[in-house]
Structure 1
Amino acid sequence: MNFPFRADIEALRGVAVLAVVIFHLFPNILPGGYAGVDIFFVISGYVVTYALLARQQKDQQKGMGFATFLQRRFQRIMPPLLVALILIAAVSYTIHEKRSFYSFSGFSITSLLGISNLKLLAQQTNYFSPDQYLNPYLHTWSLGIEEQFYFIYPLFFLPFVRGERRWRFWLAAVALLLASLLIAWHWSELNAQRAYLSPISRFWELATGVLLALAGALPRLQQRLEKLKNFAPLAQWLAVAGLLISFCLLSDKAPYPLPGVLLPVFASGVLLSFGVVAPLTALVQCHLLRFLGRISYSLYLYHWPCIVFSRYLFGSQSGYWLPAALVSTLIFTWLSYRFVEQGPWRKASLVQL
């Protein structure tokens, strides 16, 4: 099986990060833009698995061990994150009142350790609370969930990648996915903060991407998808429409993350499964979306603290905070992408699509 570069995934990343940035800048204009994070979760599970399959085929290796997997994952994640956290702490120390600085400083450590979502859970924090809009580390909760997922990934999914695709592995993986989904739905009604921030209630989204990538590598499924290629354009247009509807109609006022995020997760899965066919090729060829997709990690790291600091310095009612946030975000994102993400450790990390 061939594992070519997927330009459509790069563009989908661009759509996801653009939705998140617009939501943080203008929550009234795009109230469901936070669903971009759910798209990222599905993409992350898919891309890591796709890259592992591609590497295994290229190197003709039997498989990758637990330690090697984690090492390569964290070589990708940690350098940009560490630099960003140092800069955020330095700026916060410079401009924030000491009380505010110390109240948020603990998040610099928990963000580095990949447990900021658990800290927010322990504080019973509402992610959408206005009180959190001064926290420049707030957005790192999603990175914590991804890092926690990577610790359990080798235990549950590396057997698939190594070719041990016996029915019991598939049954166990699907059972875990469904269990996580049901827990997330239950918690969404009883405790929205726990449902939003817990790795247990988010496992199903990342696992959806993993299983889609694994299933796509099965010859029989490939043959069946090939038979459905005539329906692919319609399916993809419906998926794009589903994403747009999610961005516009989802709201933190309703129970979240479920059932609302079912639509963006399902739509993302459709787009990842079919790849790109006409007429969506024009969307994939959009240079802006692909550029945003390439820099999406650095853009995600810096956009929120730039917004927080700009609002704090100029006031949310002034006309200066928005251009200040946009300009500083672009500068720090580009510097991070160019000089940190593209560092020598990049070659040792897993292939990124």
Structure 2
Amino acid sequence: MTENAEGPVALRPEIQGLRGIAVALVAVFHIWPAVLPGGYVGVDVFFVISGYLITGLLARMALRDGRISLMAFYSRRVRRLLPTAILALLATLAGTLVFLSMARWEETAIQVAASALYVQNWRLAWQAVDYLGAKEAASPVQHYWSLSIEEQFYIVWPLLMVAGLWLARRLGRPAKGVFLVGLTVVFAGSLIASVVITRSDPAAAYFVTHTRLWELALGGLLALTVHRFRAGLPLRAAMAMTGIGAIGFSALFFSASTSFPGALALLPTLGTVLIIAAGGIKLGRFRGLDASILCYVGDRSYSIYLWHWPLVVFYSAHRPAAGLLAGVVLIALTLAISDLSYRYVEQRYRQPRSDTERKPLAYATAAVAVCVMVSGGLGYALDRKDVDISLIG
């Protein structure tokens, strides 16, 4: 159970199911891009979900306690996200030495450091990497661009809401109203920037934070207003089906040539809004997004997202595009690693069993983070002229 300003609120299994769909879209797009050429919109679904959940959490804290505890918020985010991300980065560094040529070691080490510091999106934007067109050799940590945007959001968003809470007190206005105005300004400004920059510099627009922030703000606006929505089952079912249709259409008919994100990103993001606003839908034996398999995948969506892409890159470095059998093997391997990661790393760090476990876990996480950052520094120090070109495959 979670708490809001008025009392307990049940967990939302349909959101976990939606996460399952989102990560499945991304994974299929990366393994079989011809099957779902627009599967990258799964990331946009994640952005809306994150904006919805985090804004709701902070708003409930502000309305219930009259304050926002930054320490409590940031400590939960660190325990939830950092251990698995660092483990995946370390494993990717090891895999790079085994599966990739020496010519790619330096740039991969640099990108690992950028990923550990959650600035990978800006690194890729600076390089103007064509993520969708795949004109550059893919980095095994390239997918950390979206995690970087979310982490930047997690850092800045609570500070903005603290400022909004202070302003509401100074003006004598309801905090929720100030939050709504602030979010609306962020949403509008970021969406305009997304449309403009996508037209002028589409490669960079895909990665930079200010072209994506509106998607998180959209989820935040939903969190502050959805409690007012009341509708019967038929309307809510229609909303959910429309939302699923919007996401599915985007995944099937968008492609690398689509001008994205820009205004077209409204289709999958508004579809996500409709699904979340509709809530859980059960029609007879049809359980909708509450289905067990979707919730299972949704629970492990973070780990699946982290682990699937390095496996795809390592495979692609030595083989052509994955066929049916190879793709199935990659998916099975991803699910197996992700399940272990979820059970023994993500869950353990997220919910340490006792106070005696908290400090060792924190120290271990900090030590691993330092190791990753040092490895990135070593990447900068590598001298290309020392690489024997004859050894590069």
TM-score (norm 2): 0.80
Is 1:40–2:46 an aligned residue pair? yes
- Partners of 1:122 and 1:79 in 2: CA distance: 27
Select the residue among 286, 290, 293 that pairs with 2:291. Answer: 286
Q: What corresponds to 2:154 in structure 1?
A: 150
C-alpha contact 1:38 1:265 (8 A) present in aligned 2: yes
Deviations 1:39-82 (A, max 9, x none): 0000011122334456678xx53332334322321221110000
C-alpha contact 2:280 2:288 (8 A) present in aligned 1: no
How has the CA–CA distance of structure 1 residues 14 and 320 changed in structure 2, closer, same or farther, with 3 Å as cutoff?
Answer: closer
How has the CA–CA distance of structure 1 residues 183 and 29 changed in structure 2, closer, same or farther, with 3 Å as cutoff?
Answer: same
Is 1:4–2:14 an aligned residue pair? no
How has the CA–CA distance of structure 1 residues 229 and 159 changed in structure 2, closer, same or farther, with 3 Å as cutoff?
Answer: farther
- Partners of 1:54 and 1:313 in 2: CA distance: 50
- Partners of 2:163 and 2:275 in 1: CA distance: 26
Is 1:123–2:124 an aligned residue pair? no
Is 1:307–2:307 an aligned residue pair? no
- Partners of 1:320 and 1:33 in 2: CA distance: 20
Which sits farther off after the overlay, 19-28 or 47-56? 47-56
Q: What corresponds to 2:93 in structure 1?
A: 89
Secondary structure at the counterpart of residue 343 of structure 1: helix
Q: What corresponds to 2:260 in structure 1?
A: 256
- Partners of 1:339 and 1:132 in 2: CA distance: 35
1:135-214 aligned within 5 A: 135-158=139-162, 164-165=174-175, 167-214=177-224
- Partners of 1:132 and 1:287 in 2: CA distance: 38
Is 1:71–2:75 an aligned residue pair? yes
Percent of paired sites with the same residue: 29
1:46-61 aligned within 5 A: 46-52=52-58, 61=65
Secondary structure at the counterpart of residue 321 of structure 2: coil
Which sits farther off after the overlay, 334-343 or 124-133? 124-133
How has the CA–CA distance of structure 1 residues 235 and 326 changed in structure 2, closer, same or farther, with 3 Å as cutoff?
Answer: closer
- Partners of 1:146 and 1:268 in 2: CA distance: 17
Q: What corresponds to 2:106 in structure 1?
A: 102
C-alpha contact 1:183 1:201 (8 A) present in aligned 2: yes
- Partners of 1:62 and 1:299 in 2: CA distance: 37
Is 1:336–2:341 an aligned residue pair? yes
Give the number of aligned pairs.
Answer: 340
C-alpha contact 1:315 1:321 (8 A) present in aligned 2: no
C-alpha contact 1:236 1:271 (8 A) present in aligned 2: yes
- Partners of 1:262 and 1:191 in 2: CA distance: 19
Deviations 1:299-353 (A, max 9, x none): 00000101111222444377874344233312221121111101144359xxxxx
- Considering only aligned residues, what root-mean-square deviation do their CA atoms show, in Å? 2.5
How has the CA–CA distance of structure 1 residues 319 and 267 changed in structure 2, closer, same or farther, with 3 Å as cutoff?
Answer: closer
Deviations 1:115-172 (A, max 9, x none): 0000011112111243445310111100010011112101223467899525444223
C-alpha contact 1:52 1:161 (8 A) present in aligned 2: no
- Partners of 1:107 and 1:156 in 2: CA distance: 29
Deviations 1:170-199 (A, max 9, x none): 223201210100110111111112221111
Deviation of the 1:27 alpha carbon: 0.9
Gaps of at least 5 residues in structure 2 are 1-5, 169-173, 353-357, 359-393
Deviation of the 1:265 alpha carbon: 0.4
C-alpha contact 1:39 1:268 (8 A) present in aligned 2: yes
- Partners of 2:244 and 2:120 in 1: CA distance: 32
Gaps of at least 5 residues in structure 1 are 349-353
> Larger C-alpha radius of gyration, 1 or 2?
2
